[in-house]
Amino acid sequence: MSHADLTMEGHSAGLTSGSPFAIPTKKLAMWLFIIADTMTFAACLVAYLFLRNGTANWPTPFKFSPSIVNVMLMTFILISSSLTMLMGLRNAQAGNKAAAFRWILITAAAGAVFALLHLREWMGMIGEGVTLFHNPWGSGLFGAAFFSVTGLHLLHVTSGVIALLAVGVRYQGGRYNADDIEILGLYWHFVDIVWMFVVPLIYLLNIAR
Amino acid sequence: MHDMSAHAAQHHAPPTSFIRKHVFSLDHKVIGKQYYGLALIAVFAGMVLSWLMRIHLAWGAAPIPGLELLSKNGAPAGVITPEYYLQLMTMHATIMVFFVLTTAPFAAFGNFFLPIQVGAEDMPFPHFNMMSFWVTFTAFLVLMASFFVPDGPTLGGWTQYAPLSAVGKVAGPGQGTGVILWAASIAIFCVGQLLGSLNFITTTLDLRVKGMSLMRLPLSAWGWFITSCMGLTAFAVLMPACILLILDHVAGTSFFVPSNLVLNDQLQPHSGGSTLLWQHLFWFFGHPEVYIAIVPGMGIVSHVLITSMRRPMLSHRVLIYSMGALAVLSYMVYGHHMFVSGMNPVSSLAFSFPTLMITIPSTIIVLIWIGSLYGSKLRITAASLFALGFVSMFVSGGVSGFFLAQPSIDIMLHATYFVVGHFHMVMGVAAMFGIFSGTYFWFPKMTGRMMNETLGKIHFWLSFVGTYCIFMPFHYLGMAGNVRRYSAFVDDYTMRLIPVHKFITVAAIATGCAQFIFLYNLIHSRFKGKPAPDNPWEATSLEWSTPTTPPPHNNFGDKLPVVYHDPYQYGVKSSTGDYVMQASPEQVATPHEEK
């Protein structure tokens, strides 16, 4: 223990006082992950736009109802879940453990509902004949781009829900603290922000005309 | 409170079992050595592949004894087929670029020395670090496995240009399973390097000891830090690109295959994709990768040169800023690989401009090296010789970059041996010299034993002369119009160049044999070398302040060092001689200011 104290003094007292980089290591790591993940999403979205731009018969299948209405509902749920995440963090920082845990569970539930709505939409599209290489309306690339971009996002939401439950339970059990909630929150808000790029680029660009 | 968890993660007790100590170790020093071992295996594998290619180019009809055992179809009776030649070439490049030039200077030395140079006990996420190595090792095994699948490895080149990489077997042997294994290997490799980069950046920013400001970091640490910033963003783009490529194979998508493609009289069942998209995604990673290979070498070589010159660089700051500028610009220049791809010529112009710009920080770095060397009393060691060799290779290879940066010239030289000579010198061999320099310099600290200096110097001169004999004639061949990637030269004008190819082949085999001197020196010194003192080169940075050599499990024993000085206080009067160590509280009369 004395050894650990000595280390902490060596690291935090001298170096980080007044340093612009005085950011806890785990939080920094999450930011770095977000940077890398941003590059991954950007690569996929740019690839999609590149292909879309070069394809004459790009399909625009999304009708206001049900597609866009469904997406608006999903967006509303995901943005609201960022708010509930924030409530969880505020309560955790204030020391209201039970309330914080409850808000985290609500956030996870919202994520799960988002994923279910998304899957329902997927099943509907698959039912209409959209595959990774074919669809009834135009270029087969549409399905490949749609499923890979939204699939990547869905993967993030699903992992996020699992992480929320895992971190929430460990927070409840006292192994994690408010900082860990904050770090997980960063990830959750990031997934939310990515969705704000997916909606206009994947859905609104392809509204039926 | 914040730091508690991070440092709790960083602390781990010394392992007791063999497996935790040497195999699944959390110790950054062991992981660094594991990376070095992987690179060593990979580099000899890659070298043997290059020998096979060179022998075939010079004496095409001559059978290579035993080769038919490796591939019955690829080398019937020991004579390499054109397809097998391309397979060997692809594997040579992939092994060298990913598993040698990325792992050795960055992951191996960086893992071992970055935490020590910043004064940390380990990296903040030791489990990620362990995963990083084992994931990379898995990637290597997956790549190697492609030698043993029925059609052999892919023949698409390390760039895997679409559509031939995306349509499967119809494009040639190895383009089915071979490409899938290749893409899977590289995607796995990306995960390993992302984990590594995450650790490197957090180590540099968060784990510096008291007194270690960013500008007090040694240049080698800066090299690794800048490289890890590139790694974090570049590998994150290559990974999805490889996954999309695999999807084109296994899921029937057509990201990279255009409509109406006919191969071997078969209309391909793909439509609508773009071959250029692959090139964009690949080179957006690919060009930063060049700097991922070379920037750690720049840092290592600067570190070694300063120690040997006994004085700091003309400007510590400008050198760091220039390396940073290389990193930023490396993302804006990638299109210069695509001048003849059919991309809009206006784009070529737009990519040509930053490409010429990137020569400015490169030139500044070289001028700082040469200006600092001028008039210095250089201590000639194997490490400093290889550092000088690095500078020489970087300049010789870099100068041809000025030509290739311009589309009007590149159109003539593209896909010729001129380009092969250019990148082998500036990225391949220069980075190798950086690895050698780092090895001779740090071997005492890594193993506790000295390497044999005489053998090291012989190794240097043979490698230095040999390398120029191999790669300088490549430029000549290219200007004479000798295209690359051909397995045989049967046109009138290329037939006349075959004597040059024979010369290169002899030089390549001789230079390759000289590397066994290094291997002998490495292995022999590891077990029988003279015991190394704690600071054999009279150097100043923290890795030479460890209480034992090699450093103990937690690097600095019971007490973390405190940093009192800028990294390179040489040529000063002190109680130890002409230098003051960073961790020494001794005040000197005229310390060097950071400039």
> pLDDT per residue over B36-56, tens digit each?
999 999 999 999 999 999 999
Q: Residue B153: is its pLDDT beyond 60?
A: yes
Q: Which amino acid is located at A197 in the chain?
A: F
Q: Do B198 and A32 touch (CB under 8 A)?
A: yes
Q: What φ, ψ does residue B267 adopt, rounded to 5°?
A: -75, 125
3-state secondary structure B22-80: HHCCCCHHHHHHHHHHHHHHHHHHHHHHHHHHHHHHHCCCCCCCCHHHHCCCCCHHHCC
Please name the CATH architecture into which domain B22-580 falls.
Up-down Bundle (1.20)
DSSP state for residue B266 in the 8-state scheme: E
Interval A36-42 mean pLDDT: 97
Is A3 an 8 Å CB contact of chain B? yes
Residue B302 has pLDDT above 90, yes or no: yes
Distance CA B73, CA A3 (A): 62
Percent above pLDDT 70 for chain B: 97
3-state class of A35 per DSSP? helix
Nearest residue in A to B244, CA atom: A148
Q: What is the rounded average pLDDT of the residues B137-160?
A: 95
Residues A93/A185, Cβ–Cβ less than 8 Å: no
**Which of A12, A50, A177 lies at the smallest CB-CB distance from B274?**
A50
Cis peptide before B218 (omega within 30 of 0): no
Tell me which chain B residue has its CA closest to the CA of residue A15.
B210
User: What is the pLDDT, as a whole number, of residue B15?
Assistant: 84
The candidate with the shortest Cα–Cα distance to B536, out of B459, B460, B435, B440, is B440
Q: Of chain A residues 55-114, which have a CB less than 8 A from chain B?
A: 55
Domain spans in chain B, listed from the N-terminal domain onward = 22-580
Any CB–CB contact under 8 A between A140 and chain B? yes
- pLDDT of res. A102: 97
For an interface test with A, which of B127, B200, B205 has the most A Cβ atoms less than 10 Å from its Cβ? B205
Comparing alpha-carbon positions, the chain A residue that sits nearest to B203 is A25
A198, A118 Cβ separation under 8 angstroms: no
- Nearby residues of B321 by Cβ (< 8 Å), 6 or more positions away: B361
**A122 contact B CB<8A:** no
B251: which chain A residues are within 8 Å (Cβ-Cβ)? 132-133
Q: Across the interface, which of B208, B236, B281 has its CB nearest the CB of A37?
A: B236
Across the interface, whether the CB atoms of A8 and B280 are under 8 A apart is answered no
Three-state DSSP string of B287-353: HHHHHHHHHHHHHHHHHHHHHHHCCCCCCHHHHHHHHHHHHHHCCCCHHHHCCCCCCCHHHHHHHHH
Q: Residue A53's closest chain B neighbor by CA?
A: B274
pLDDT in tens, A70-104: 999 999 999 999 999 999 999 999 999 999 999 99
CA B547 – CA B534 distance, rounded (Å):
8
Mean pLDDT, rounded, for B504-532: 97
- Give the pLDDT of residue B342: 87
Contact residues, chain B, for A182 at CB < 8 Å: none
pLDDT at residue A20 in the model:
52
Least confident of B187-191, B318-322, B336-340: B336-340
Q: Residue with structure tokens 């104290």?
A: A5
In a domain, A7, yes or no: no
Tell me the chain A residues in contact with residue B7 when contact means C-beta distances shorter than 8 Å: 4, 7-8, 11
**End-to-end CA, chain B:** 37
* Residues of B in Cβ contact (< 8 Å) with A139: 271-272
- For B280, the token pair is 């964009």
Q: Name which of A7, A24, A54 is nearest B274 (Cβ-Cβ).
A: A54
Q: Amino acid letter at B107?
A: A
CB contact under 8 A, A23 and B202: no
Contacts of B241 in chain A (CB under 8 A): 43, 47
- Residue B574 backbone dihedrals phi, psi, to 5 degrees: -150, 175
A146-177 pLDDT per residue, tens = 999 999 999 999 999 999 999 999 999 999 99
pLDDT of residue B523 exceeding 60, the answer is: yes
pLDDT, one tens digit per residue, over A133-153 is 999 999 999 999 999 999 999
Q: Six-digit token pair at B167? A: 């349509």
- Please work out, in degrees rounded to the nearest 5, the angle formed at the alpha carbon of residue A17 by the alpha carbons of A16 and A18: 105
Taking a contact as any Cβ pair under 8 Å apart, which residues of chain A between 184 and 203 contact chain B?
A: none
Residues linked to residue B570 through DSSP beta bridges, in sequence order = B579
Give B-chain residues touching A133 at CB under 8 angstroms. Answer: 251-254, 270
pTM of the model: 0.94
Distance CA B296, CA A131 (A): 45
Which residue of B lies nearest to A30 if distances are taken between CA atoms? B198
- Indicate the pLDDT class of residue A12, thresholds 50, 70 and 90: very low
In a domain, A134, yes or no: yes
Question: Which tokens in the block code for residue B223?
Answer: 């090299």
DSSP state, B263?
A: E
Residue A193's domain is classified under what CATH number?
1.20.120.80
Q: Find the closest chain B residue to A148 by CA distance.
A: B244
Chain pair A-B, CB pairs under 8 angstroms: 153
Residue to mutate among A9, A12, A15, with most B CBs inside 10 A, is A15
Q: Are B98 and B186 a contacting pair, CB within 8 Å?
A: yes
Residues of B in contact with A148 (CB under 8 A): 244, 247, 253
**Chain B closest-CA separation from residue A183 CA (Å):** 12
pLDDT at position B10, please?
A: 58
Does A154 contact B at CB distance below 8 Å? no
Residue A80's domain spans which residues? 24-206
B574 has which bridge partners?
Answer: B577
Higher-pLDDT residue of B419, A7: B419
Residue B349 in this model has a pLDDT that exceeds 60:
yes
Residue A165 belongs to some domain of the structure? yes
What percent of chain A has pLDDT above 90?
Answer: 84
| A17 to chain B: closest CA residue | B210
| Angle, CA B212 vertex, CA B208 and CA B215 arms, to 5° | 115
Partner B contacted by A10 (CB < 8 A)? yes
Chain B contact for A40, CB < 8 A?
yes
**A200 part of a folded domain:** yes
So what's the pLDDT on residue B297?
Answer: 97
Query: What pLDDT is stored for residue B21 in this prediction?
Result: 87
State which H helix or E strand residue B570 sits in: strand B569-574
- pLDDT bucket at B16, cuts 50 / 70 / 90: confident
Chain B: nearest CA to A198, how far in angstroms? 16
Q: Does A179 touch chain B (CB under 8 A)?
A: yes
CB contact under 8 A, A133 and B254: yes
Residue A6: inside a domain, yes or no?
no
pLDDT of B593 over the 50 cut: yes
Mean pLDDT, rounded, for B53-74: 91
CB-CB under 8 Å, A23 with B205: yes
Q: Name the residue among A13, A32, A141 with its Cβ closest to that of B254.
A: A141
